[in-house]
Homo-oligomer: A and B are copies of this chain.
């Protein structure tokens, strides 16, 4: 059993040390399953610090909704499922990285295809144009969570040779000097068909959160058409909105 300790003389403030310690501690399965954390007074005593300092540390985690405190009961780990914020519009890789969740690619496929009607209209391109289609299945260790299908405007000049393991929009910016600026999204619910059910490892007819996204450059011209199919049991879209 690993023992956590606090260094009073360190340059690192105590509450930050405690915060880190707690972040490690709550990875323990028993806490993930809902067991109460050591209470504040005991924790303070055990670490040789004051209760206020413990609270200063837990405050941050409570704010992040990682911990839930209940008066008269105790403190537990929040068991919210994976969420993402729409307000910080960013690539999925980033969102996941921020939360300390390990996200990885299951499958990546790149191909050069003929644009269908919808895509031609969106990108305003001619009948004969080819577009790059990027298919990514992403998820956690426990299994796939989302299937992304992206189509890119020929203007970005993708060849199909790119490294798509890095965060997507970073790559676009760095490599193509294209700054993604505006995104339009539509969210809907659908049922999994055979192909989706196989890829997402669910049953045919299971609910899937379907998200369309059009990413435009600063001039408002579409550069990417992105379809996202999320396993509804593992993913919730979270939005925080402030009124002007």
Q: Which residues of A contact B (CB under 8 A)?
A: 59-60, 63, 70, 83-89, 121, 180-191, 205-210, 230, 232, 235-244
Is A236 touching B184 in the complex (CB atoms < 8 A)? no
The distance from the CB of A59 to the nearest CB of chain B, in whole angstroms, is 7
> Which residue of B is nearest A70, CB measured?
B121
Partner of A207, one of B180, B189, B244: B189
Q: Which residues of B contact A121 (CB under 8 A)?
A: 70
Is B189 touching A209 in the complex (CB atoms < 8 A)? yes
Q: Which residues of B contact A206 (CB under 8 A)?
A: 191
Cα distance A43–B170 when bound, in Å? 43
Q: Which residues of B contact A183 (CB under 8 A)?
A: 239-243
Q: Which residues of B contact A189 (CB under 8 A)?
A: 189-190, 207-210, 230, 232
Partner of A238, one of B182, B185, B232: B185
A-B contact pairs, 21 of them (CB 8 A): A85-B242, A85-B244, A86-B86, A86-B242, A87-B244, A180-B243, A182-B243, A184-B240, A185-B240, A186-B236, A186-B237, A186-B239, A187-B237, A188-B209, A188-B235, A188-B237, A189-B189, A189-B208, A189-B210, A191-B206, A239-B239
Q: Which residues of B contact A185 (CB under 8 A)?
A: 237-241
Is B208 touching A238 in the complex (CB atoms < 8 A)? no
Q: Which residues of B contact A209 (CB under 8 A)?
A: 187-189
The distance from the CB of A157 to the nearest CB of chain B, in whole angstroms, is 22
Cα distance A185–B242 when bound, in Å? 11
Q: A87-B244, A189-B208 are in contact. List 16 more A-B contacts (CB 8 A).
A: A83-B186, A87-B241, A89-B243, A182-B240, A183-B241, A184-B238, A184-B239, A185-B237, A185-B239, A185-B241, A186-B237, A187-B209, A187-B238, A188-B209, A189-B230, A190-B207
Q: Which residues of B contact A85 (CB under 8 A)?
A: 242, 244
